[in-house]
Amino acid sequence: MKGMQKMKGIKIAFALAAVLAMSGIGWAAKPVGVGPGISGDLNGPRTEVTVEVTVPQMEAPPTGLCDTANTAQTYSIKAYIFQPSGRIFAIGIGSNTESFSCSTAADQQIDMLIKALSGLSFKPGPATLVYQVIQTTTDITDPLNPKITDLVVEEAGSRIDLH
């Protein structure tokens, strides 16, 4: 089941990449009134990007999903970077290394490592960052058969400046 979800995510990423590629070089342009993108640090061989993603403050129940007292809920981030370069399209996929709890008090800054797909590398300059904040709930009512449920609670995108 999890393998099917990963495959679905990769298919969505490739579909988004195709749409971005067809829209030409204008997709990475900075919109009017918007400041520079998020800063992303490239490693030496330019196959990995370190970035800090902002997870917005969430609402508590009954209107929101952030139940800070529920220890069965954890959060994670899945992120993609898309960067065209001539006929090549660099794509990176990553997730945060440790799960975190939601916050009803303030935005959170989460460090991420995004790796280029094998055989691809990034170049310094603009790219597109797309990410999902995922809530994972583990129900251990039946300890021999725990039920794990993932729910996407936030999806966002941004320009990212790689350097």
SS3 151: strand
Residues 105-151 pLDDT 10s: 999 999 999 999 999 999 999 999 999 999 999 999 998 999 999 99
Q: Facing residues of 79 across strands?
A: 94, 131
Task: Note down the domain range covering 17.
Answer: 2-26+36-162
How many structural domains are present in the chain? Answer: 1
119 belongs to a structural domain:
yes
Contact 80, 93 (CB under 8 A): yes
Write down the pTM of the prediction.
0.75
Report how far residue 156's alpha carbon sits from residue 33's, in angstroms, rounded to the nearest whole number.
18
CA nearest neighbour of 127 among 85, 88, 87: 85
3-state secondary structure 28-95: HCCCCCCCCCEEEEECCCCCEEEEEEEECCCCCCCCCCCCCCCCCEEEEEEEEEEEEECCEEEEEEEE
Go through the chain and tell me how many residues it has: 163
Q: pLDDT tens per residue, the chain (163 residues)?
A: 555 565 666 666 666 555 555 444 444 444 443 456 799 999 999 999 999 999 999 999 999 999 999 999 999 999 999 999 888 899 999 999 889 999 999 999 999 999 999 999 999 999 999 999 999 999 999 989 999 999 999 999 999 999 9
31 belongs to a structural domain:
no
